[in-house]
Amino acid sequence: MHELSVTRNIVAIVAEKAGTRPVERVRLQIGRLSGIEVSAIQFCYDVCIAGTVLEGSRLEIEHVDGRARCLGCDKDVMVEHFTARCPCEQQARLQITHGEELLIKEMEIRA
């Protein structure tokens, strides 16, 4: 499963930054075009944090909507999938600007 390796990476990065300090909360930013299954990330997280400084921490996920710029009319449009086209007359290709991200936005150390 793709999400398992993604989650392992996230946990490893956070654990490295935390060192020996226990982690309280991790906030991720996941784009709707990233292809990441959010419910799977949540499930894998609980598995991956066992026995690490992240054990017992809370995972928060912030969704980022897909947005793109039309190469024809230069408008900013919302997109739900990669093959989307601008509703303008040119039916031009869209350049994705938001929604592909997978970022560790914040991490909080337990006081």
Of 20 and 83, CB closest to Zn ion: 83
Q: How far is the CB of 93 from Zn ion (least distance, A)?
A: 9
Q: For residue 98, what are its two tokens?
A: 């938001």
Of 9 and 91, CB closest to Zn ion: 91
Q: How far is the CB of 1 from Zn ion (least distance, A)?
A: 37
Torsion sign, CA atoms 102, 25, 20, 7? negative
Of 41 and 70, CB closest to Zn ion: 70
CA 96/CA 33 separation, integer angstroms: 9
Residues in the chain: 111
Residue type present at position 70? C
Q: How far is the CB of 74 from Zn ion (least distance, A)?
A: 7
CA-wise closest residue to 70 among 90, 51, 53, 100: 90
Of 14 and 79, CB closest to Zn ion: 79
Q: Which residues bind Zn ion (CB under 5 A)?
A: 70, 72-73, 86, 88
CA 87/CA 73 separation, integer angstroms: 10
Q: How far is the CB of 89 from Zn ion (least distance, A)?
A: 8
